[in-house]
A and B are shown apart, each in its own frame.
Chain A
Amino acid sequence: NAGVMQNPRHLVRRRGQEARLRCSPMKGHSHVYWYRQLPEEGLKFMVYLQKENIIDESGMPKERFSAEFPKEGPSILRIQQVVRGDSAAYFCASSPNEGGYGYTFGSGTRLTVV
């Protein structure tokens, strides 16, 4: 069991470019969550998805950010027209159900906007 796989581990983008972050959940997990960790801050919830559905996006910024979890393939967090304030570590977690058995996190993608 490879666990939750995130790629890339590190991503550098210039201001105005697009960033795409990928997350493959653990085998058997159909619930995916994205969290953001800003420098010197705690992890903050962004979005919760099940296959082909966004369940809760209450933590997502209203503009430039989107997420999907297609029927086939990994979950994608997409940030359009990145700004320096988007620089952070983005973590993906998965669970087999609605959190009742806990969450497994990936190693994260560290986005740096220059």
Chain B
Amino acid sequence: KQEVTQIPAALSVPEGENLVLNCSFTDSAIYNLQWFRQDPGKGLTSLLLIQSSQREQTSGRLNASLDKSSGRSTLYIAASQPGDSATYLCASTGANNLFFGTGTRLTVIP
């Protein structure tokens, strides 16, 4: 069974810093790796999707990488802003569903 782990569980950074969130998974047989953002009391917003044949994806200030052989993905956020404060979830995709990590709660301090 796929196990997804996210480190750190919580992170506080001053505005403007670059930061990296880490995600590891135990089974490399994934369809793709997806990063989501969840605001308190809200749903999930998809940020980036990396298909299993890809190594990275970029969207604006976000860059996600995937290394299937080592079972790791990272989400890089450049020039962080207070509006980036949220919980970030990574999920690996199996045939029928997603396996989620427990998330990293990010706080960007103005």
Q: Could you tell me which residues of chain B, from 9 to 27, have a CB within 8 Å of some CB in chain A?
A: none
Q: Mark A93-112, 1 if CB is under 8 A from B, else 0.
A: 10000111111111110100
> What is the interface residue range for chain A against chain B?
20 to 34
Among the interface residues A98, A99, A101, A108, which one has the most CB atoms of the partner chain B within 10 A?
A99
Select which of A41, A56, A100, A107 is within 8 A of B31 by beta carbon. Answer: A100
Contact B43 A41 (CB under 8 A): no
Contact B43 A91 (CB under 8 A): yes
A65 contacts B by Cβ under 8 Å:
no
Question: Is chain B's binding surface mostly helix, strand, loop or mixed?
Answer: strand
Contact B103 A42 (CB under 8 A): yes
Contact B96 A102 (CB under 8 A): no
Contact A99 B102 (CB under 8 A): no
Residues of B within 8 A of A59 (CB): 97
Residues of B within 8 A of A93 (CB): 98
A48 contacts B by Cβ under 8 Å:
yes
Known: A42-B102, A43-B89. A103 touches B46 (CB 8 A): yes
Q: A56-B96, A56-B97, A103-B98 provided; 14 other pairs, C-beta below 8 A?
A: A33-B96, A33-B97, A35-B100, A45-B96, A45-B98, A98-B95, A99-B98, A102-B93, A103-B46, A103-B93, A105-B36, A107-B42, A108-B42, A110-B41
13 inter-chain pairs at a CB distance below 8 angstroms, sorted by A residue, are: A42-B101, A45-B96, A45-B97, A55-B96, A98-B95, A99-B93, A99-B95, A99-B98, A100-B31, A101-B49, A103-B34, A103-B93, A103-B98
